[in-house]
Structure 1
């Protein structure tokens, strides 16, 4: 390690900035974001500050003259960007005066370098490569950005506000440490990270005996938590950043059978994995049994994830699960996922709404023929309504019969989109009258049916029309 990572307190004195062009303006934005006061030698005479807010501009002092002979007393650091040979002379003067200096992209003239920065307010992460490869540093920063909760800075600020009053009440340092570990890793920390700071403040004030709370952590008594996570339709790259963090933090994951192996690979390696879902022809353990497992895991102090295909609240029975958790007094949170209907629309370019053509969307489920018989199809006959049917392959004949009997046109475009967003995804498009035949062209589910004029805008429909046109031309040529 050639460069020791340090953090400069920019409130101790101004920064001298020398240079011109977009390079120096990039440094301006960075320094102002950190609250710095700046003495700016604009070497090209251009003092354009467009794009900067008025509060930031007020902290800029425009300086004339030669920066090589500038007074450096009380200066926190000197930065040169786009200054050319003048920057080298300024750097030599700063070094002679014992002032930290950075000349952008020139290690030989610098006593410190700028890392790639992850800024989360009170939490700042710096990534450096010793100046060897800023691109590598940026790539590492991107990985860290993806892993860190967006509100991790809020959590640090929350603890900072409470640190002194709590520390005054817990004299023993080991107990204080365990207390804060329990806050960070437990439900109160989860509330802050979820943007529910007021509830977190209330929960912390309601801890009656802080020493007992810390002692419980010392004794291994910890509070569990259940997170309902939407796994999306199958492509692991469609998992949200928050979902990935939950999978990496989990002690145990209860997952649906329809969750793809690629998504399961994102789970922390040493976490327990328990299948609890069901699929066509394979009954699962039952919803009540799932509730029992989730509650038991949380009460045992585990961080449990209920991993559900698609989105927990769209035909995922997530509502039932949080009601059971709420009644059991178990802390929980919900992370949404991309539902299969949206995944199908994006993958196969079938817009679910379209100006002047499709103004409404209805999502419904028809797992079996008896489910289709319970649907009031008369409410779905508007030709400006897109109907998205989940788990509708088996009930396809009944769905067609119900819509046709209610008055929907037999020529309505329809699509059967299977295993959407996965590498083995498949589509069959045609008209409502032929829906069962289209389903027969699909080699296994899960699949969603999209019914409405929007299907005529999809990529498979366009391909079908092109193939038909080519076929007609070949016939005509013969």
Structure 2
């Protein structure tokens, strides 16, 4: 995050705009709309600024900028077409610790002006950090279609009942739960359609029937997919935003964890090779305890919770303790990673079946049905197999697969750090070792791997320094 997004109250406070052209006029109009008292420094003004002057909206200093113009101002915008002047404004403001924005010159800014979606009192500010203002405007245009004007009216109308709700519920959490349910129900549609009296009656009835006791909690078992946030389901996103606490695994990427509600508590329950932060049984009972405390618990797992995710064990424990739960499937690594690596798991010419197995080593052995795996025209997808790769390849050859059988290992698939190494059962262990592959990885064995070179479409940006 290059800039801290904040909303500044400038009502009744002095703001300075340096410049008298079209850009300065736009910035002046924005400051006036936010209630600022605007001073404009420029030898001449364009027609729009001249109109503001005639109407008494601004104070005008018809002269070149001087540091004296910064007296008692809380914000400065430099919008001249002379970089030397803009730089002087920036340096003078920074010396006095006054926030300064220089239009189209991020290097001289201490703050930047976002693209704004105004649904007052709801405001959405979108910024590219000064790198691409046009992209920010395009994103705002897309949001314009998703957030209608009625949301501003909804916020204003709901504000009338804040004190009613506050008096009714002593617990801030209970108030939040009440508002979440109300704003996702009939109340909102009534306000949107102009039925204010019906909306008021509905809200007051809801208040009468609510108790001040916290409800029993619930557990959301959510698949986070293989790592790319774009692959989350809509339902997963919705539950991630309403959870009180998240219990997450090592395979949940930071980008996905950042999408959880910001004030939700976070508990790491990751498992690495020979290193378990929390044993599985402890995780099961942690979910029960948190739910019994009235919390909405997000159990966030990489991939799909029911494919090598031990989700079945967790909800079995929840069921035994009569804890409400729901399950949201995720894109499992086999599907997501293979797709991004350009390797179809089935193909009419190469494979008519696909099998998923875990390659986790225990006492330097892997207990698998090798005869069932080593079959022709079948794709084998191996989870957690990096450390056991030499054993896996050796056993598959021993049980009948040709040493030349194509094989691939994919690291951090679907993300911008994806790496794909292609070889055969005979060569893949050495290739993976020389490439310094690290978990999480997925291994794919079968003739379909031949298609990678032809079908690879995803071009990740990977820095060997790990950045």
- Output the TM-score relative to the length of structure 1: 0.53
Tell me, yes or no, if the aligned pair for 2:341 and 2:456 is still in contact at 8 Å.
no
Give the aligned partner of residue 453 of structure 1: 447
1:290 and 1:377 map into 2 onto residues whose CA distance is 32
Give the aligned partner of residue 230 of structure 2: 237
Q: 2:211 aligns with which of 215, 218, 227?
A: 218
Q: State the secondary structure of the residue aligned to 1:416.
A: strand
1:372, CA displacement in angstroms?
Answer: 5.1
Unaligned ranges ≥5, structure 2: 1-137, 149-167, 186-205, 458-467
Q: 1:427 aligns with which of 420, 425, 428?
A: 420
Give the aligned partner of residue 376 of structure 1: 369
Please identify which structure carries the higher helix content: 1
Tell me, yes or no, if the aligned pair for 1:232 and 1:239 is still in contact at 8 Å.
yes
Q: 1:421/1:142 Cα in 2 relative to 1: closer, same or farther (>3 Å)?
A: farther
Q: 1:456/1:373 Cα in 2 relative to 1: closer, same or farther (>3 Å)?
A: same
How many pairs are equivalent? 280
Give the aligned partner of residue 352 of structure 2: 359
1:316 and 1:429 map into 2 onto residues whose CA distance is 27
Counterpart check, 1:330 vs 2:291: no
1:183, CA displacement in angstroms?
Answer: 12
Q: 2:242 aligns with which of 231, 238, 249?
A: 249
Counterpart check, 1:228 vs 2:221: yes
Give the aligned partner of residue 386 of structure 2: 393
1:462 and 1:244 map into 2 onto residues whose CA distance is 29
1:439, CA displacement in angstroms?
Answer: 2.2
2:328 and 2:178 map into 1 onto residues whose CA distance is 22
1:300, CA displacement in angstroms?
Answer: 1.0
| 1:50-101 Cα deviation digits (max 9, x unpaired) | xxxxxxxxxxxxxxxxxxxxxxxxxxxxxxxxxxxxxxxxxxxxxxxxxxxx
1:371, CA displacement in angstroms?
Answer: 7.7
1:280, CA displacement in angstroms?
Answer: 2.2
1:311 and 1:216 map into 2 onto residues whose CA distance is 39
1:344, CA displacement in angstroms?
Answer: 1.5
Tell me, yes or no, if the aligned pair for 1:427 and 1:442 is still in contact at 8 Å.
no
1:445, CA displacement in angstroms?
Answer: 1.4
Tell me, yes or no, if the aligned pair for 1:341 and 1:388 is still in contact at 8 Å.
yes
Q: 1:371/1:381 Cα in 2 relative to 1: closer, same or farther (>3 Å)?
A: same
Tell me, yes or no, if the aligned pair for 1:348 and 1:459 is still in contact at 8 Å.
no
Counterpart check, 1:304 vs 2:297: yes
| 1:314-359 Cα deviation digits (max 9, x unpaired) | 1000000010000010000011111111121111110000013210
| 1:229-278 Cα deviation digits (max 9, x unpaired) | 11111111111111111111010000002211111110111100110121
Counterpart check, 1:273 vs 2:276: no
Give the aligned partner of residue 142 of structure 2: 139
2:360 and 2:427 map into 1 onto residues whose CA distance is 19
Tell me, yes or no, if the aligned pair for 2:343 and 2:456 is still in contact at 8 Å.
no
1:298 and 1:237 map into 2 onto residues whose CA distance is 29
1:239 and 1:459 map into 2 onto residues whose CA distance is 27
Q: State the secondary structure of the residue aligned to 2:313.
A: helix
1:431 and 1:137 map into 2 onto residues whose CA distance is 49
Q: 1:319/1:253 Cα in 2 relative to 1: closer, same or farther (>3 Å)?
A: same
- Output the TM-score relative to the length of structure 2: 0.54
C-alpha RMSD over aligned residues: 3.6
Give the aligned partner of residue 282 of structure 1: 275
Give the aligned partner of residue 438 of structure 1: 431
1:330 and 1:390 map into 2 onto residues whose CA distance is 30
